[in-house]
Amino acid sequence: MSENNCNKLYEEANELYREKKFTEAVKLYKEAAELGSVEATYMLGICYNYNLGVDEPDESVRGKIASKYFIKAGDNGHADAQCFAALCYLHGIGVEKDVETAIKRFEDSAKGGCTQAMNNLGYIYENNLNYTEDEELEEEEVAENYQLAFDWYMKSAEKNDPTGQLSVGKCYYYGRGVERNIAEAIKYYTLSAQQGLADALFRLGECYDDGEGVESDEIEAFELYKQAALKNHPKAQCYVGYAYEYGNGVPKDMNEALRWYNLSAQNKYFQAYCNLGCCYEEGRGVKRNMQKAIEMYEEGAKLGSVMAMYNLGNVYAFGKGVKVNNELAVEFYERAAQNGMPEAQFNLAQHLYEGKGVEQDYEASAYWFLEAAKNGDSDAQCKIGSFYMNGIGVEEDPELGFKWFMRSAKQGDYDAQYSVGVCYEEGIGVEADINSAYDWYSRAAAQGHSGAKKAMKRLK
């Protein structure tokens, strides 16, 4: 059969494919492939990869067949097929996983102008996939990988690929492979957003929201979030809901807030579940329903929402809609604490200190108070200050105790201000200074601290 007839078969198959008559299309693609059509061979890989019109229920078998077609077409110079073949080697689909071979095939595909291959090479180097998990990378090796990633992303961006433009923007934003430059990040986010890439629209919205590299503009931020949300970006949908709930860049509208939160939750964005839980707990836009709130918090916690974990800790610690269960409270506080949430770290420390829902453990309590204190929690700073002063769970160290009291006091905690006053008056952890003692007592007294008021009268 002539080349013209081969091409005719391929075009007829394409027409059927466009009409979504996939079974008939596959039949003609096979005929064209047998006659040497590289394009038809590639399309057979696509059909088996995405289960379109093929008679093979086993996904792993389809993967093997797809990989053979991609490899064959790739070996015959088809750049997009070579990219798919590389993906098969990268993820071990239909072939044994082999990152080195994947990189070589991506490079061949990139030489043929495939921007997706360029982006995939960038991803490999950015995430150090060219090293095994048990290899310990030196800083220089990581820096070299970031540089390679940036170079590949830039090659893609220069071909006007929106994913490449977004990735270059992220490199500039986080300073990976290039010196951090917010203006350049915004430039590339904008280029990508102009082509409609949802994550670029979202990230650009964040820049306007936070005033990073541009003048803060809630209205512009909302419009960008909305555009991304309409493209089914889960996080943007949650942000749109938040904007409607609190009137950020748009008039308050709880019905719209709930609608967007629900859309985001349907797309499994963890924070949307937490926000819905808060709405049900506090009766914002819906009738107050603690059972529904707990359900939302549980879903959010399963998906990794630290705030949802913390809120569940409060639910069980304070008996919100359930019986008090300090064991469960400790479990959820600990999960949130392990994820760096200072409020959860403080509450966990308090439960350990009091032996509520867990065996009393002063050392563990001191550890978590200190973690919360390092994270800026003023109550924890005051608490760990008293632990150092009295040697509770830590070695007694009045100077450290004073340091933590002072940190808390500067944040306005009146108990800490009083304690700083005591330290200055009695020379504990710091040189005695009656004037300084009086000053700190007066600050605490101004906030209603009764002990500070008495101390001021004593020092007059």
DSSP secondary structure letters along 309-330: HHHHHHHHHHTSSS---HHHHH
Q: Which two tokens stand for residue 397?
A: 């160290």
Burial of 151 (0-12, 13-18, 19+ CB in 10 A): middle
Radius of gyration of the chain from its Cα atoms, rounded to whole angstroms: 30
Residue 132: per-residue pLDDT: 87
Q: What is the pTM of this model?
A: 0.88
Burial of 136 (0-12, 13-18, 19+ CB in 10 A): exposed
Residue 63's Cβ-side half-sphere holds a number of Cα atoms within 13 Å equal to 13
pLDDT beneath 50: ranges in the chain = 1
Cα separation, 421 vs 415, whole angstroms: 10
Cα separation, 93 vs 392, whole angstroms: 56
* CA 374 centroid distance within chain: 22
Residue 376: per-residue pLDDT: 97
Place of tokens 């379109």: 52
Residues 129, 131, 132, 135, CA torsion sign: negative
Cα separation, 221 vs 225, whole angstroms: 6
**Helical packing angle, 79-91 and 59-75, nearest 10°:** 140
Identity of the residue numbered 322:
V
Own/partner pairs, 218-226, CB within 8 angstroms, 24+ separation: 218/243, 218/248, 218/249, 219/249, 219/250, 220/249, 221/248, 221/249, 222/248, 222/249, 222/250, 223/249, 224/193, 225/201
Cα separation, 146 vs 158, whole angstroms: 18
Cα separation, 353 vs 393, whole angstroms: 9
Residue 443: per-residue pLDDT: 97
Burial of 283 (0-12, 13-18, 19+ CB in 10 A): exposed
385 and 409 Cβ atoms separated by less than 8 Å? no
Residue 133: per-residue pLDDT: 84
Residue 2: per-residue pLDDT: 63
408 and 370 Cβ atoms separated by less than 8 Å? no
190 and 204 Cβ atoms separated by less than 8 Å? yes
Cα separation, 44 vs 65, whole angstroms: 9
Cα separation, 87 vs 117, whole angstroms: 9
Cα separation, 295 vs 417, whole angstroms: 41
pLDDT tens-digit readout, 173-202: 999 999 999 999 999 999 999 999 999 999
Cα separation, 404 vs 416, whole angstroms: 9
